[in-house]
Structure 1
Amino acid sequence: MKQNSVTRRLSAQLREKLGYILLFEIADPRLDLVTLTGVEVTQDRSFARIFVSCEGDRYEEVLEALNSAKGRIRSLLARALDWRVTPELEFRIDRSTDEAERIARALENVPETLSVAKDDEGYPLVDDETANADDLSADADEALADEAYAADDEEGARA
């Protein structure tokens, strides 16, 4: 739904009233630990989409409880709001918290290569001991290559 300043204000008002109703007026144990994460209202106030979050294994149970209590919630909203029209309610599960949790778990398993100190250009910084060992191995590799070339030159001269 397209949101502007009026509908955002109406959504905030509806969210506050819905929170109170779910917390104090509805006595369904299936709605324990349910969080209102967002409310969207149309400009004419005839329709409202309510986003809720809960544990991942309770999605169906919570939606069933909300849909069965929809009529009672709507009548309580009619008394609490000073709107001429009471909106039709649609409840949806907000899965953005699941996505955030998945990302947080992925960030906990950072590969070791990402924790290596890097310079401004992104290349790994080399400490002095490692640099010296690398220089020695490079010198040894060069000496072996020189010997191989010399042996090839000798064989070429014999032929």
Structure 2
Amino acid sequence: MAKDFSRSHRVAEQMQRELADLLMFEVKDPRVSMVTITAVEVTGDMAHAKIFYTAAKQSDSLQQGLEKSAGFLRTQLGRRMLLRTVPQLHFVYDASIDNGMKMSKLIDEALASKPEKS
């Protein structure tokens, strides 16, 4: 039976904190601005990490900027976290916030068009 809180989960949480700090203060690429890391998933063998992010405005240039800075981020993670092997970073846009806002808008519209009972 797997542990409730495995090493990969602990590494993912620490990686999320460190990446947020690095993206805010260290990355100088103008394409990478106002990015929020929503989640990190690390494989069991620590070879790959999916970094889910959201931004005020999603664009291809933002994705390219993140992919371009992946090597720098990986190096800095290795120094900060003292890992023997640092996972390869794969950035994935997290559309769940956008979907939630759309659903909320649809619910509000449905409630507004509903006739009120007297």
Map of 1:106 onto structure 2: 106
The ranges of structure 1 where at least 4 consecutive aligned residues each deviate by more than 2 angstroms after the TM superposition are none
Q: Secondary structure at the match of 1:76?
A: helix
Q: Distance in 1 between matches of 2:90 and 2:75?
A: 15
Show the 5 A alignment for 1:10-159: 10-56=11-57, 58-109=58-109, 110=111, 111-113=113-115, 115-116=116-117
Separation in structure 1 between the aligned mates of residue 65 and residue 81 of structure 2, nearest angstrom: 23
1:50 corresponds to which letter in structure 2?
A: I
Q: Which amino acid aligns with 2:80?
A: A
CA offset digits 1:65-119 (Å, max 9, x no partner): 0011111111111111111101111000000011011011112212223x43xxx
Separation in structure 2 between the aligned mates of residue 12 and residue 104 of structure 1, nearest angstrom:
29
Mapped partners of 2:9, 2:108: distance in 1: 36
Deviation at 1:4, TM superposition (A): 5.3
Larger RCO: Structure 1 or Structure 2 (Cα < 8 Å, ≥ 6 residues apart)?
A: 2
Identical-residue share of aligned pairs (%):
28
User: Which has the greater radius of gyration?
Assistant: 1
Gaps of 5+ in 2: none
Letter in 2 for 1:55: A
Aligned residues: 113
Q: What letter matches 2:33 in structure 1?
A: D
Letter in 2 for 1:97: I
Q: TM-score, normalised by structure 1?
A: 0.65
- Given that 1:45 and 1:87 are in contact with CA atoms closer than 8 Å, whether structure 2 keeps it comes out as yes
Query: Within 2, Cα distance between the matches of 1:91 and 1:65?
Result: 10
Give the aligned residue type for 2:28.
A
More helix by share: 1
Gaps of 5+ in 1: 117-126, 128-159
